[in-house]
């Protein structure tokens, strides 16, 4: 049975490299991604460093301002507490002194000394002191309530100048220790904003806040419209401040602008003031994306070029391998064709040899059988065992038909075949082919119907299947022949019964799935050169098709192969085993016989005359045509051999007669015929040589009935 074809050379290696172009993209992409992760982490670390540096600078600056303010508070308190100094009565002198203290201090809005009623006694900025009332201010109430210490107020707006400030104040005491007013130093928020603006100028995305420990915001840069006046109670920074942290770095969402930021905060000394800095993470991401974009812009073109180059190289390699594979297939196909041609030439030469032998042998058998018939017709008492032996030998055309079948030159003669008799008898033919290591089983169901096929071709089909099975079988192999009437579940697709099934099954290697659909193709074989032509299974399929049926094959690798031939049953009654034809009445036909063999003609003419025919004999086609042209009344039948000497053979003679005298019936006699299909398609009756008396009477009788 056929074996699996070898895979294309180099295909597995090429398949292993099919991911190489994508690796040329994937590896640079992975490297780019790794660099991107590293750079993002590095940028974040660098941002944390810059954020901490900015926070330290802003914190140190605020601490210096607060220390300076606290020192000024202490000096003003000392001045206001001098013995004999009445601030409200010596306002001009004290104003001058305070103005000198505030000089060259741009952070100061003013220095004020308030009385116990909340009205200013003296101001460093204005003289006389402005008529304002600070008794409602938070810092004044703080000290009025005697809480003590330095107090930092909420953000305020001057009622005189409209400037924004926050107040740093302390209580002023009377000699008896009672509340004597408040000393206040007002710090401009614009001063801090300007410093923070200059600090953030070199850091895009940097935000700086100055706030009180309760979350009230003194300054904010950049300035935001409609920003809340304090940080949210649950904001990341306030949560840490409430927990007692003096400094920290964290990542969170700002409660002021709602943007994700990297945040840092630090307390300004021991004052209830904090500085907070934040960097927008989107800004970090923008810088990172910009850098990665440039890296991709420089790295992507070489990677894409390498990808395209490798892919093109693989495609060209694939095309080259495919071309080499096609060339190999074409070379193998050519070798098969050449082998098939050589085999066909051998068969042709053998056919010519066996054809000549079979033709002469058939002529000899026809002479014997016809003379035997005449002998038994003229001398019936001469019947006996000797004549029966001669009759069996004379009718045994099996030898010549097998020779011609082997050379594929036989004229097919369908006949009714009873499988109950034919299959058991074929054991002697298949046994030597299979050998002693293979067991042969033949079973035929008793009710199996007869079929109508050419017996020699049927035996050749079984022989081909046996040879294929032998090549696929291992030790202890089994070949099973089975014949039965096909059941409904056994019919091939789109085929209707009734059908007779002949099954040939083996337990050999089986047929691979990828070649199973091609096993019936002519010249298709997977056997090595010199061991098969691919014609065996095509002959099996052709036999079933010509008989009106079909053939199927089923196989599983390692579990054997099953070939089924389906034939329509032959419903005609079985032929009678009559020694002599039952003539009834004479045929009364005028027969023009063209036969080059004198002995065949001498034996055939008396038989025809005994059947009531008038016979005119010629040994050349040309002479027969000349005789026909000279006749006023044509004969009933032209009975001509195929192979004859001269310029015109029997087929050419039949064509010429058909063209000139279309009403004249033509019967072609042949022992073998290369042009059998052409003869049958043109409507000529075919009479095999040697023919039995029954066949001769039947063929001529059809013509007599028609006339």
Query: Could you tell me how many residues make up the chain?
Result: 707
Q: What is the DSSP string of 496-527?
A: -S--EEEEEEE-SS---HHHHTTTTSTT---S
Distance CA 563, CA 519 (A): 11
Per residue in 249-265, pLDDT (tens digit) is 888 777 666 677 788 89
pLDDT at 5 over 50: no
Structure tokens at 63: 């601490």
Pick the CATH number of 412-567 from 3.30.565.10, 3.20.20.140, 3.40.640.10, 3.60.150.10: 3.30.565.10
Backbone angles phi, psi at 57, to 5 degrees: -65, -50
pLDDT at 386 over 60: no
Q: How high is the pLDDT of residue 357?
A: 65
Name which of 85-94, 187-196, 467-476 the model is least confident about.
85-94
Largest separation between any pair of C-alpha atoms in the chain: 188
Q: How high is the pLDDT of residue 60?
A: 94
Average pLDDT value for residue range 339-353? 61
Domain with CATH 3.40.50.2300 in the chain: 590-706
User: CB-based contacts of 326: which residues, under 8 Å, 6+ apart?
Assistant: none
Q: Long-range contact list for 40-45, CB < 8 A, 24+ apart?
A: 40/284, 40/285, 40/288, 43/284, 43/287, 43/288, 44/262, 44/284
pLDDT at 282 over 70: yes
Distance CA 160, CA 374 (A): 160
CA-based torsion, 643, 646, 648, 650: positive or negative: negative
Distance CA 198, CA 203 (A): 10
Distance CA 277, CA 50 (A): 10
Q: Can you list the positions of beta strands (E) in 241-309?
A: 247-253, 260-267, 273-280
Structure tokens at 304: 């894409």
Q: How high is the pLDDT of residue 64?
A: 94
* Percent of the chain whose pLDDT exceeds 90: 18
Q: How high is the pLDDT of residue 297?
A: 81
Q: How high is the pLDDT of residue 532?
A: 46
Distance CA 432, CA 463 (A): 11
Return mean pLDDT, the chain: 79
Instruction: Assign 358 a pLDDT band (cuts: 50, 70, 90).
Output: low
Domain with CATH 3.30.450.20 in the chain: 15-309
pLDDT at 324 over 60: yes
Tell me how far CA of residue 621 lies from CA of 95, 109, 363, 617, in angstroms. Answer: 159, 145, 18, 11
Pair 689, 604: CB distance under 8 Å = no
Q: Which helix H or strand E contains 219, and what residues bound it?
A: strand 217-221
Instruction: Assign 529 a pLDDT band (cuts: 50, 70, 90).
Output: very low
Structure tokens at 479: 């070949």
Distance CA 150, CA 71 (A): 11
Q: Which helix H or strand E contains 359, and what residues bound it?
A: helix 281-378
Distance CA 481, CA 466 (A): 10
pLDDT at 523 over 80: no
Q: How high is the pLDDT of residue 281?
A: 77
| 101 vs 402 pLDDT, higher one | 101
| 451 vs 707 pLDDT, higher one | 451
Q: How high is the pLDDT of residue 1?
A: 44
Name which of 16-25, 288-297, 467-476, 558-567 the model is least confident about.
16-25
| 375 vs 230 pLDDT, higher one | 230
Q: Long-range contact list for 441-446, CB < 8 A, 24+ apart?
A: 441/478, 441/479, 441/480, 441/481, 442/480, 442/481, 442/482, 443/480, 443/481, 443/482, 443/483, 444/419, 444/420, 444/482, 444/483, 444/484, 445/483, 445/484, 445/485, 446/420
Place of tokens 């060259």: 104
Pair 279, 208: CB distance under 8 Å = no
Instruction: Assign 586 a pLDDT band (cuts: 50, 70, 90).
Output: low
**What CATH homologous superfamily does 590-706 map to?**
Response regulator (3.40.50.2300)
Average pLDDT value for residue range 377-382? 62
Helix or strand or coil: residue 209? strand
* Percent of the chain whose pLDDT exceeds 70: 79
Q: How high is the pLDDT of residue 534?
A: 41
Q: How high is the pLDDT of residue 204?
A: 76
Per residue in 636-656, pLDDT (tens digit) is 999 998 888 888 888 889 989
Place of tokens 């053979």: 649
Backbone angles phi, psi at 213, to 5 degrees: -65, -15
**What CATH homologous superfamily does 15-309 map to?**
PAS domain (3.30.450.20)
Instruction: Assign 246 a pLDDT band (cuts: 50, 70, 90).
Output: very high
Please give the span between the terminal C-alpha atoms of the chain, in angstroms, as a whole number.
54
Q: How high is the pLDDT of residue 83?
A: 59
Instruction: Assign 68 a pLDDT band (cuts: 50, 70, 90).
Output: very high
Place of tokens 């093109």: 312
Domain with CATH 3.30.565.10 in the chain: 412-567
Q: How high is the pLDDT of residue 185?
A: 94
Cis peptide bond N-terminal to 340, omega within 30: no
Among candidate residues 364, 352, 354, 355, the one with its CA nearest the CA of residue 598: 364
Residue 310's Cβ-count burial label (10 Å; 0-12, 13-18, 19+) is: middle
Average pLDDT value for residue range 72-99? 78
Backbone angles phi, psi at 512, to 5 degrees: -60, 150
Distance CA 262, CA 240 (A): 14
Place of tokens 């005298």: 661
| 209 vs 511 pLDDT, higher one | 209
């Amino acid at each position: 049975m056929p074996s699996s074809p070898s895979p294309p050379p180099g295909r597995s290696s090429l398949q292993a490299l099919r991911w190489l172009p994508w690796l040329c993209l994937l590896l640079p992409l992975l490297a780019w991604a790794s660099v991107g992760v590293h750079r993002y982490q590095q940028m974040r670390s660098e941002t944390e460093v810059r954020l901490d540096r900015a926070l330290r600078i802003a914190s140190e600056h605020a601490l210096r301002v607060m220390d300076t303010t606290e020192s000024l508070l202490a000096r003003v308190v000392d001045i206001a507490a001098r013995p004999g100094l009445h601030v409200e009565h010596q306002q001009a002198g004290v104003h001058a002194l305070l103005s000198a203290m505030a000089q060259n201090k741009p952070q100061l809005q003013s220095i004020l000394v308030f009385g116990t009623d909340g009205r200013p006694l003296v101001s460093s900025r204005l003289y006389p002191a402005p008529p304002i009332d600070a008794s409602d201010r938070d810092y004044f109430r703080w000290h009025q309530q005697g809480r003590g210490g330095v107090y930092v107020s909420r953000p305020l707006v001057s009622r005189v100048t409209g400037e924004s400030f926050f107040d740093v104040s302390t209580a002023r005491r009377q000699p008896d220790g009672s509340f004597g007013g408040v000393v206040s130093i007002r710090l401009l928020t614009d001063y801090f904003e300007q410093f923070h603006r200059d600090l953030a100028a070199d850091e895009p995305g940097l935000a700086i806040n100055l706030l009180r420990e309760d979350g009230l915001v003194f300054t904010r840069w950049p300035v935001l419209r409609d920003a809340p006046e304090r940080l949210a109670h649950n904001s990341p920074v306030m949560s840490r401040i409430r927990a007692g942290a003096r400094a920290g770095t964290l990542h969170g969402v700002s409660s002021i602008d709602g943007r994700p930021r990297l945040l840092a905060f630090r307390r300004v000394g021991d004052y209830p003031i904090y500085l907070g800095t934040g960097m927008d993470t989107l800004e970090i991401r923008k810088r990172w994306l910009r850098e990665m974009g440039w890296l991709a812009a420089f790295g992507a073109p070489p990677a894409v070029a390498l990808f395209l180059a490798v892919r093109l190289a693989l495609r060209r390699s694939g095309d080259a391998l495919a071309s080499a594979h096609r060339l190999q297939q074409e070379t193998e196909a050519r070798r098969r064709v050449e082998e098939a041609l050589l085999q066909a030439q051998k068969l042709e030469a053998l056919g010519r040899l066996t054809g000549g032998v079979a033709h002469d042998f058939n002529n000899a058998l026809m002479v014997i059988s016809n003379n035997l018939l005449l002998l038994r017709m003229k001398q019936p008492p001469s019947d006996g065992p000797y004549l029966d032996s001669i009759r069996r030998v004379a009718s045994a055309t099996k030898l010549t038909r097998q020779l011609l079948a082997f050379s594929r030159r036989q004229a097919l003669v369908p006949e009714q075949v009873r499988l109950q008799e034919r299959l058991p008898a074929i054991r002697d033919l298949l046994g030597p082919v299979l050998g002693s290591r293979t067991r042969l089983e033949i079973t035929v169901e008793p009710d199996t119907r007869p079929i109508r096929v050419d017996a020699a071709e049927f035996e050749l089909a079984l022989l081909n299947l046996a040879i294929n099975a032998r090549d696929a079988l291992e030790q202890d192999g089994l070949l099973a022949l089975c014949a039965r009437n096909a059941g409904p579940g056994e019919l091939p697709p789109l085929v209707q019964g009734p059908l007779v099934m002949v099954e040939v099954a083996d337990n050999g290697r089986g047929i691979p799935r990828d070649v199973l659909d091609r096993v019936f193709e002519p010249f298709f074989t997977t056997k090595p050169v010199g061991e098969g032509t691919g014609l065996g299974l095509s002959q099996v399929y052709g036999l079933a098709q010509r008989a009106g049926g079909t053939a199927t094959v089923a196989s599983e690798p390692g579990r054997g192969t099953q070939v089924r031939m389906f034939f329509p049953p032959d419903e005609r009654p079985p032929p009678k085993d009559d020694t002599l034809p039952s003539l009834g009445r004479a045929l009364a036909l005028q027969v023009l016989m063209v036969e080059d063999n004198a002995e065949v003609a001498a034996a055939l003419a008396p038989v025809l005359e005994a059947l009531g025919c008038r016979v005119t004999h010629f040994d050349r086609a040309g002479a027969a045509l000349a005789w026909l042209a000279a006749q006023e009344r044509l004969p009933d039948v032209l009975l001509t051999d195929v192979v004859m000497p001269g310029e015109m053979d029997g087929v050419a003679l039949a064509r010429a007669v058909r063209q000139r005298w279309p009403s004249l019936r033509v019967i072609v006699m042949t022992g073998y015929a290369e042009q059998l299909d052409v003869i049958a398609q043109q409507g000529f009756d075919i009479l095999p040589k040697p023919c039995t008396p029954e066949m001769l009477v039947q063929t001529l009788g059809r013509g007599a009935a028609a006339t």
